[in-house]
C-alpha cells in the first residue's frame, strides 16, 4: 500500500507572530511549536514536503541591502538573490528545528532543504501592474531618487504612517524546477523543505536560458502547484486562523469546517475572502483540488494535530467528509 504524501505550507504565525520583532529566538520557538504539530502526520505514515513563507524575512534582507549601500557602499543584490537568501536561511532554521523535534520523538528521518526556482511567464500581465509591496518605507524624495537611479516603482502607504514602498510584480507560478527530485526524495521517506517564499522567480528566455525575474511569487499558489505536480494526496496551509469563515469579523460570521469545491468557489467569487490574505489561500486550495488532489486543509499553525480544528475542502465533501 502506497503511503500518502502531504505538502504543508507554513505561513502566518507559523514562523513569526504579529506582535514580535523577529529575533531568531522568537522564530526558532515558533517554528519548533509548529513542527511539533506535524508529528502526527509522520506517525500516521505520511511522507512530507514542507514549504514556507518569507514575507518579514525577505523584507529585512532588503532593508539590510539598503543600509549596506547607503552606509558602507556595498553593492545591492537583486530581488531574486534576496529571495534565495531567505530560502536558505529559513530552510536551515526549519531543518535544524525539525531534526531536534524528530530526535525528541524518536523518529529517524533525513531532512533536506532545496533552494527552489519557480518558473513564471515573463509575459504575465502582473509584470505590467506591480502590486506587491517589499522592503522599507521611504520618503517621497528618497523614492523619487531610487526610481530615477534604479527604475524601481513605488506606491504610497496610505494605510500606515505614510511614505512610499517599492512594489514588484507577483506573477502566477507555472512550473517548479526539480519537482521530480522533490517527489522522489519525499516518496523515499525523506522530509523535503522546498519552494520557500514562493520560490525564486525565474523564466526561460528566447535562447532557452534560465533568467531571474524581479518579482515575488505567492507562497500558497507556488505550494499548491508543487503539491499538484508531485501528486500529493493532501495540501495543508497553516496560518493564523483555525477555520475558513464566511462573513469574517462581520455580522453573521460563520465557521465552515467542511466545504466542497463548488461552494468554496462560489464564496470566493462572491468576495467573502480578503484579496490580500485569505483569497490567495482559498485559490491555492481550489487549484490543488481541481488538479486531482484529495483534500486541502486550512487551519491555525498550532492546531494542525487537533482534528477539532481546520477547514477541509474536497471535491464532494459529502463523499469524503471525515
Catalytic residues, by residue number, are 12-13, 132, 219, 281
What's the CA gap between 49 and 113, in Å, rounded?
A: 10
Q: Which helix (DSSP H) or strand (DSSP E) does residue 274 occupy? A: none
Sequence-ordered list of residues with C-beta below 8 angstroms from that of 183, at least 6 positions apart, any chain = 5, 229, 230, 231
> Which residues make beta-bridge pairs with 210?
204
In 3D space, the residue among 133, 126, 124 whose CA is nearest the CA of residue 152 turns out to be 133
In 3D space, the residue among 116, 82, 67, 299 whose CA is nearest the CA of residue 219 turns out to be 116
Determine the Cα–Cα distance for residues 310 and 166; give it in Å rounded to an integer: 35
295, 314 Cβ separation under 8 angstroms = yes
Beta bridge partners of 299: 238
Contact between 46 and 192 under an 8 Å Cβ cutoff? The reply is no
CA distance 293 to 134: 32
Tally Cβ neighbours within 10 Å of residue 102: 19
Distance CA 30, CA 7 (A): 19
Task: Please tell me whether residue 234 adopts helix, strand or coil conformation.
Answer: strand
Alpha-carbon distance values, 161 to 55, 66, 91, 157 (Å): 19, 20, 32, 7
Tell the residue number behind the cell numbers 522546498, with chain if given: 194
Per the CB < 8 A criterion, the answer to whether 121 and 185 are in contact is no
Q: Could you give the CA distance from residue 77 to residue 288 in angstroms, rounded to a whole number?
A: 34
Amino acid at each position: 500500500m502506497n503511503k500518502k504524501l502531504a505538502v504543508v505550507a507554513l505561513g502566518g504565525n507559523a514562523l513569526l507572530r504579529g506582535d514580535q520583532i523577529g529575533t531568531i529566538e522568537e522564530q526558532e520557538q515558533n517554528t519548533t511549536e509548529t513542527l511539533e504539530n506535524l508529528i502526527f502526520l509522520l506517525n500516521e505514515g505520511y511522507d512530507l514536503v514542507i514549504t514556507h513563507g518569507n514575507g518579514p524575512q525577505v523584507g529585512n534582507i532588503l532593508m539590510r541591502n539598503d543600509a549596506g549601500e547607503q552606509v558602507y557602499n556595498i553593492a545591492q543584490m537583486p530581488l531574486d538573490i534576496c529571495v534565495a537568501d531567505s530560502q536558505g536561511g529559513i530552510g536551515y532554521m526549519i531543518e535544524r528545528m525539525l531534526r531536534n523535534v524528530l530526535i525528541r520523538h524518536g523518529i529517524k528521518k533525513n531532512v533536506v532543504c532545496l533552494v527552489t526556482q519557480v518558473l513564471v511567464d515573463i509575459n504575465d500581465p502582473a509584470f505590467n501592474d506591480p502590486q506587491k509591496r517589499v522592503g522599507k518605507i521611504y520618503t517621497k524624495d528618497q523614492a523619487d531618487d531610487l526610481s530615477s537611479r534604479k527604475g524601481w516603482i513605488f506606491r504610497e502607504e496610505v494605510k500606515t504612517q505614510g511614505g512610499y514602498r517599492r512594489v514588484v510584480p507577483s506573477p502566477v507560478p507555472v512550473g517548479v524546477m526539480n519537482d521530480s527530485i522533490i517527489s522522489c526524495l519525499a516518496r523515499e521517506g525523506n522530509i523535503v523543505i522546498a519552494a520557500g517564499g514562493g520560490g525564486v522567480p525565474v523564466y526561460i528566455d528566447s535562447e532557452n536560458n534560465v533568467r531571474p525575474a524581479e518579482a515575488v511569487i505567492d507562497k500558497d499558489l507556488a505550494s499548491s502547484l508543487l503539491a499538484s505536480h508531485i501528486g500529493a494526496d493532501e495540501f495543508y496551509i497553516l496560518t493564523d486562523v483555525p477555520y475558513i469563515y464566511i462573513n469574517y469579523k462581520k455580522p453573521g460570521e460563520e465557521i465552515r469546517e467542511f466545504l466542497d469545491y463548488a461552494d468554496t468557489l462560489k464564496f470566493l467569487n462572491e468576495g467573502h475572502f480578503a484579496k490580500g490574505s485569505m483569497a490567495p489561500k482559498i485559490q491555492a486550495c481550489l487549484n490543488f483540488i481541481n488538479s486531482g488532489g484529495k483534500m486541502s486543509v486550512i487551519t491555525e499553525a498550532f492546531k494542525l494535530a487537533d482534528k477539532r480544528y481546520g477547514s477541509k475542502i474536497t471535491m464532494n465533501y459529502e463523499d469524503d467528509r471525515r
